Amino acid sequence: METLPLYIYGTFVLTVLAAIYLFVKASASRWLVFVLLGWLVLTGALAWMGFFQVTDTLPPRFLIAVLPPLICLTILFSTSKGRAWLDQFDLKTLTLLQTMRIPVELVLYWLFLYQLTPELMTFEGRNFDILSGITAPLVYYFAFVQNKWRPQFLLIWNIVTLGILLFTVSNGILSAPSPVQQFAFEQSNVAVLLFPFIWLPAVVVPIAYYAHLISIRLLWKKVFNSKPISGLASPAF
């Protein structure tokens, strides 16, 4: 792999750490930082050793980085203790957290310039995720600073931006080199198999969809059950 400028590594690593910090802050659970850092070290070590660069196996080794967060999410949403823990998250911080998608999209564009990701994974292609990052601070400002947005609009924003995220992730998986690759054969999405960029599918993306799904759960309860939400000022609605 061609040596990348330090600003690409620096921007990405700082974005990962910021995402972890904000997610832990939203949870108010100090133990979560150890779980996330442990997962960071494990996936980073595997990528450093070239584990994910073996792309001709079935199932793809790439799944080892993406399935555990999904399994944990399923357990959390399907158990009473898990749902009770999710309900303690701070909606304000979860919303602000989505701003991290701006530097993520910049990193993806820089990686495209160095032929490590396909154009379709950038905002010049069919990656619209930067819109989620750009609108996140605006939504945060109007919903939590000005208190001018009803929870219904915040719910819709989370659903739409979650849809954008899922569309982007599906393109990323199907453009990565593996037996199931469908797109970008001329320039595969190889960056996500390398250190430290394995943390995009293994850490950053899970934090983003966790934040959306938790927010949707909290807002759904607010809209349809009239229950108070941590971080959301009820009188404004």
pLDDT bin (cut points 50, 70, 90) of residue 34 is: very high
CB 196 within 8 A of CB 13: yes
Mean pLDDT of 153-164: 96
pLDDT of residue 236: 41
Peptide bond into 151 cis (omega under 30): no
For the chain, give the percent of residues with pLDDT over 90: 78
For the ranges 73-87, 126-140, 180-194, the lowest mean pLDDT is seen at 180-194
CA distance readout (Å), 31 to 25, 64, 93, 203 = 11, 23, 18, 16
Q: Which pLDDT band holds residue 181 (cuts at 50, 70, 90)? A: confident
Q: What is the pLDDT of residue 229?
A: 53
Residue 228: the pLDDT is 54
For residue 123, give both structure tokens: 């905002």
Each residue's pLDDT tens digit, 3-23: 899 999 999 999 999 999 999
Neighbours of 130 (CB within 10 A): 20
- Does residue 75 surpass a pLDDT of 50? yes
Q: pLDDT digit string (tens) for 102-115?
A: 999 999 999 999 99
pLDDT tens digits, 36-74: 999 999 999 999 999 999 998 888 899 999 999 999 999
What is the residue type of 39?
W
User: With bands split at pLDDT 50, 70 and 90, how would you rate the model's confidence at 120?
Assistant: very high
Domain assignments of the chain as residue spans, ordered by start: 6-236
Give the whole-angstrom CA distance, residue 132 versus residue 205. Answer: 13
What is the average pLDDT score of the chain?
A: 91
Work out the burial of residue 182: count CB atoms within 10 Å of its CB; fewer than 13 is exposed, 13-18 middle, 19 or more buried.
exposed
Given this model, what pLDDT does residue 235 score?
37
Q: What is the pLDDT of residue 234?
A: 45
Report residue 186 as tokens: 């001329």
Provide the pLDDT for residue 237. Answer: 38
**Does residue 198 register a pLDDT over 50?**
yes
